[in-house]
Structure 1
Amino acid sequence: MNLFSDIRSLVIASIDAMVAAGELPQGLDLAAVAVEPPRDAGHGDMATNAAMVLAKPAGLAPRAIAESLAARLARDPRIAGVEVAGPGFLNLRLQPAVWQGLVGAVLRQGADYGRATLGAGRRVNVEFVSANPTGPMHVGHVRGAVVGDALARLLAFAGWNVTREYYINDGGGQVDVLARSAYERYREACGLSPEIREGLYPGDYLIPVGEALKAKYGTSLLEQPESVWLADLRTFSTDMMMTMIRADLAALGVTMDVYSSEKALYGTGRIEAAIETLRGMGLIYEGTLEPPKGKEPEDWEPRLQTLFRSTAHGDDVDRPVMKSDGSWTYFAPDIAYHYDKVQRGFDELIDIFGADHGGYVKRMKAAVSALSNGRVPLDIKLVQLVKLWKNGEPFKMSKRAGTFVTLRDVIDLVGADVTRFVMLTRKNDAALDFDFDKVLEQSKDNPVFYVQYANARINSVLRRAREAGVAVDDATLAAADLGKLDHEAEIGLAKKIAEWPRVVEIAARGNEPHRVAFYLYELASDLHGLWNRGNDAPQLRFVQDDSAITQAKIALARATGVVISSGLAILGVTPVEEMR
């Protein structure tokens, strides 16, 4: 049940009737007609822009359209009043019975309330985390992991067929550095002093790798040159790092459907095939790029390179795919990897990247546009940095990691649920301050606590009612006399519950899971507000002497809990039933 969608259908049907009556011309595009909450709640329950968007194509004054449309809408039994505002906006008020009936509908639908068919089963690939396999996940990876996983959950809830994917960046020079760093820890395991020179990874997390190498090879590698052991140690170390990363993700409640390897693209012809596909489209050529901005002419050495004509698909400049020495640029395997995703039949692609990948957005979108002939859209979400605070000061690096704060550091301090919720309290492209003290604070200013406390209060009401002998199963509550929910605060809470399906659709269309966290805070605020009003107005308390009234009020609380649980499930957070 989606009340906003239902009322929009009523508006569309009324417009169709106006067309049939000759009041409006045929062939009007109704796609931009919207029904949404008014900016000022005092103006009504819903508002529509129908008259405003139809005025110009219809060649009529918007207010004239609005007045005729208002007369038709007013005939519907769900509508309590219609007001034409300003130049032609329509403000609608719904009958109390509509909001009361919604409560019962939510309880009958349960966890399916708000679930959408917007995705229509389309296949979407969400690639996220994709951290270099050179160490444990750090706090920046945490935010990307949470955003990606919550987005995947949101899209699945909204009707998409979702694949979660991790791209293992194991084809670059950083994996050679990992192997050399692991070799020093291997030497250490063999009783020698490690030489952690500049440029190697200093973290203690490589000590177990060195010990595992000692267990496998004994001391046989100690006198061998790098050319003998480098390739084996690359694979061995990468595998151990990926085992650690998988465990880190599991601790955060994240599981991947697919792990793809960059290394697997080399020597298999897959990079060559992708580039040749672009060449066949006339998008690969030999040329020389203009000097980068900021380079003086005398500092610039023009080089003939193999270039992708990415400007033909919206990029600012063409991009090199092969260097003058014949080796691939970093961009070439990324093209091949995304071509592979296109060939796997995905209808949409989403990449969650760190903020430092901003320069990659246009070129990657251009590549996917070209390789899919414009069929497959690519949305790239950039995740901004997280600043950690504790005791009023920046939180220092992890000794184990050597240079950064790890995912495990964060989870050990506050837990996975708190971590996930807090990471979604800002839009992905906004910087986020993560204060370890504040995220554990029990106050309204802490959205994690505030939402979980609302759910705990709902469960406490259910327990009290059961102890009083009142039946509070969902079927009984859905059949209660919900007309007893007649106070403005109760109707207000029902109105907020009604927004949930709309929030799901808006968040899914924009690939913006943070909207769910924002909405849950608002819903919790309305629940707490009603609860607190009961302190001064006993008739608003959820448990009353009259069991019929109690069931109606608890039905409202339970419907709120249904939505909170669904929203938290999208965020990947477990609802708390009791605050301790």
Structure 2
Amino acid sequence: MNLFSEIRSLVTGAVAAMTDAGELPAGLDTAAITVEPPRDAAHGDMATNAAMVLAKPAGMPPRAIADLLAARLAADPRIAGVEAAGPGFLNIRLQPGVWQALVPAVLGQGADYGRSAIGAGSKVNVEFVSANPTGPMHVGHVRGAVVGDALARLLAFAGWDVTREYYINDGGAQVDVLARSAYERYREAHGLEPEIREGLYPGDYLIPVGEALKETYGAAFLDKPESEWLITFRNFASHRMMQMIREDLASLGVTMDVYSSEKALYGTGKIEEAIETLRGMGLIYEGVLEPPKGKTLEDWEPRQQTLFRSTAHGDDVDRPVQKSDGGWTYFAPDIAYHYDKVQRGFDQLIDIFGADHGGYVKRMKAAVAALSGGRVPLDIKLIQLVKLWKNGEPFKMSKRAGTFVTLRDVVEQVGADVTRFVMLTRKNDAALDFDFDKVLEQSKDNPVFYVQYANARINSVLRKAAEAEVAVDDATLAIADVALLDHPAELELIRKIAEWPRLVEIAAKGNEPHRVAFYLYELASDLHSLWNRGNDEPSLRFVQADIGTTQAKIALARAVGVVISAGLGILGVTPVEEMR
């Protein structure tokens, strides 16, 4: 049940009736008509821009359309009042019974309340994390993992067919560095002093890898030239690192549907196929690039390269795909990988990248636009940095990792649920401060506590009512006399519940899971406000002397709980039933 969609249908139906009556010209496009909460709640329950949207194509003043539309809307029994405001906005008030009827509807739908079909089964690929398999996941990966997983959950809730994918960056020189680092730990396992030279990975996490290499190969590779062990150690170590990464993700409640390997693109003809496809479109050519901005001719060595004409699809400059020595640039396998996703039949691609990939966005979008013929949109979300704090000081380093705070460090200190919620309390492109003390603080300033406390309060009410032998199962609450919920504070809370389906669709369309966290905080705030008002106004308390009144009020609380549980489920957070 989506009240905003229902009233929008009422508005568009009235527009159609006005057209039939000759009050509006035929053929008007109503797609841009919206019905949403007004900016000022004092103006009404909902507002529509219909008159503003239709004025120009209809060739009429918006106020004239608004007055005609208001008269038609007012005839509907659900409408308590309609008022034209300003140049032509319409403010709408609904009958209390419309709001009250939402409570049993929510209880009837349960966990499906707010679920949408706007995705229409469209296939979307969400690629996220995609860290180099060279060590444990760090705190920067945590945020990307949470955003990606929450987005995947949100899209599935809104009707998309979602595939979560991890792209293993195992084709570059960094995996050779991993192999050399593992070799030193292999030597260490044999009682030799490891030579952790500059440029190698120093973390203790490679000690078990060295021991495993010893157990598997014995002393076979000791004092052997690199050419004899590099590939073996590279494969062995990267496999172990991916096992560690999978375990790290699992500790955060993240599982992937697909793991794709960059290395698997080399020597298979897939890179060549993608580049030749672009060449067939006239988008690959031999040329020399202009010096990058800020570079002088003295600092720039012009050379002939194989270039992708990415400017034909919105990029600022064309991009090299093959170096003058014949080797592929780092961009070429990424083109091939995205071409593979297009060929797998996805209708939409979403990449979750670190903030350092900002310069990569336009070129990747250009490649996907070209390879899909513009059919498959690519949305790239950049994840800004996370700054860690503890005891009022910046929190840095992890001895186990060598140079950074790991995902496990964070989860072990505050838990997966707290970590996930806090990572979504800012939009992905805004920097985030993660204070280990504040995220565990029991106060209104801690969003995760505030939302969980609201859910715990709801469960507390249910327990108290049950102890008083009041039936509070959902089936009983669904037939409670909700007309008793007539206090403005109670109706205000119902209005917030009514926003949930609309919020889900807005967040899903914009690929913005943080909106769910923001909404849950607002919903929790409204629940706490009503609860606290009950301290001064006994008639607002959820448990009353009259059983019927108690059941109506608990039905409202339970409806809030349904929405909180659904929202936390999208965030990947487990609702708590009581605070400890």
Q: TM-score, normalised by structure 1?
A: 1.00
Matches of 1:108 and 1:298, distance apart in 2 = 73
Q: Spell out, residue by residue over 1:230-270, the C-alpha distance to the aligned partner (whole angstroms, 9 max, x if none).
A: 00000000000000000000000000000000000000000
Matches of 1:539 and 1:292, distance apart in 2 = 70
In the other structure, the counterpart of 1:451 is: 451
In the other structure, the counterpart of 1:237 is: 237
1:406-417 alignment, distance < 5 Å: 406-417=406-417
In the other structure, the counterpart of 2:144 is: 144
AA aligned opposite 1:558: R
1:70-469 alignment, distance < 5 Å: 70-469=70-469
Q: Spell out, residue by residue over 1:205-231, the C-alpha distance to the aligned partner (whole angstroms, 9 max, x if none).
A: 000000000101111111210000000
AA aligned opposite 2:351: D
Matches of 1:284 and 1:10, distance apart in 2 = 53
Q: Spell out, residue by residue over 1:152-211, the C-alpha distance to the aligned partner (whole angstroms, 9 max, x if none).
A: 000000000000000000000000000000000000000000000000000000000000
AA aligned opposite 1:467: E
1:472-551 alignment, distance < 5 Å: 472-551=472-551
Q: Spell out, residue by residue over 1:436-483, the C-alpha distance to the aligned partner (whole angstroms, 9 max, x if none).
A: 000000000000000000000000000000111111111110111000
AA aligned opposite 1:398: S
Shift of 1:556: 0.1
Matches of 2:299 and 2:360, distance apart in 1 = 24
Matches of 2:419 and 2:118, distance apart in 1 = 29
Matches of 2:209 and 2:488, distance apart in 1 = 63
In the other structure, the counterpart of 1:11 is: 11
Matches of 1:100 and 1:445, distance apart in 2 = 31
Matches of 2:225 and 2:350, distance apart in 1 = 43
In the other structure, the counterpart of 1:51 is: 51
AA aligned opposite 1:384: Q
Matches of 1:307 and 1:440, distance apart in 2 = 52
Matches of 2:301 and 2:160, distance apart in 1 = 49
Shift of 1:106: 0.1
Q: Secondary structure at the match of 2:101?
A: helix
Matches of 1:529 and 1:422, distance apart in 2 = 23
Q: Secondary structure at the match of 1:307?
A: strand
Q: Spell out, residue by residue over 1:82-119, the C-alpha distance to the aligned partner (whole angstroms, 9 max, x if none).
A: 01101110000000001100001000000000000010
Q: Secondary structure at the match of 1:379?
A: strand
Shift of 1:294: 1.0
Shift of 1:330: 0.2
AA aligned opposite 1:146: V
Q: Secondary structure at the match of 2:286?
A: strand
Matches of 1:556 and 1:239, distance apart in 2 = 52
Q: Secondary structure at the match of 1:53?
A: helix
AA aligned opposite 2:506: I
1:569-580 alignment, distance < 5 Å: 569-580=569-580
Q: Spell out, residue by residue over 1:514-535, the C-alpha distance to the aligned partner (whole angstroms, 9 max, x if none).
A: 0000000000000000000000
Matches of 1:194 and 1:27, distance apart in 2 = 78
AA aligned opposite 2:51: A
Shift of 1:566: 0.1
Q: TM-score, normalised by structure 2?
A: 1.00
Q: Secondary structure at the match of 2:387?
A: strand
Aligned CA RMSD, in angstroms, stands at 0.4
Shift of 1:297: 1.0
Matches of 1:270 and 1:377, distance apart in 2 = 21
Q: Does 1:470 align with 2:446?
A: no
AA aligned opposite 1:137: M
Matches of 2:169 and 2:481, distance apart in 1 = 59
Matches of 2:90 and 2:448, distance apart in 1 = 37
Matches of 1:24 and 1:513, distance apart in 2 = 39
Q: Does 1:561 align with 2:561?
A: yes
Matches of 1:136 and 1:298, distance apart in 2 = 41
AA aligned opposite 2:289: L
In the other structure, the counterpart of 2:23 is: 23
Q: Secondary structure at the match of 1:499?
A: helix
Shift of 1:275: 0.2
Q: Secondary structure at the match of 2:53?
A: helix
Matches of 1:318 and 1:28, distance apart in 2 = 42
Q: How many residues were matched structurally?
A: 580
Shift of 1:7: 0.2
AA aligned opposite 2:323: K
Matches of 1:103 and 1:480, distance apart in 2 = 9
Shift of 1:66: 0.1
Q: Secondary structure at the match of 1:235?
A: helix
AA aligned opposite 1:469: E
Shift of 1:549: 0.2
AA aligned opposite 2:139: V
Matches of 1:237 and 1:90, distance apart in 2 = 64
Shift of 1:277: 0.3
Matches of 1:414 and 1:227, distance apart in 2 = 45
AA aligned opposite 1:293: K
Shift of 1:29: 1.1
Q: Spell out, residue by residue over 1:391-436, the C-alpha distance to the aligned partner (whole angstroms, 9 max, x if none).
A: 0000021000000000000011100000000000000000000000
Matches of 1:157 and 1:120, distance apart in 2 = 11
AA aligned opposite 1:220: A
Query: Percentage identity across aligned positions?
Result: 84
AA aligned opposite 1:571: L
Q: Spell out, residue by residue over 1:261-288, the C-alpha distance to the aligned partner (whole angstroms, 9 max, x if none).
A: 0000000000000000000000000000
Shift of 1:298: 1.6
AA aligned opposite 1:153: R
Shift of 1:372: 0.3
Matches of 2:269 and 2:471, distance apart in 1 = 66
Q: Secondary structure at the match of 2:132?
A: coil
Shift of 1:329: 0.1
Unaligned runs of 5+ in 2: none
AA aligned opposite 1:102: L
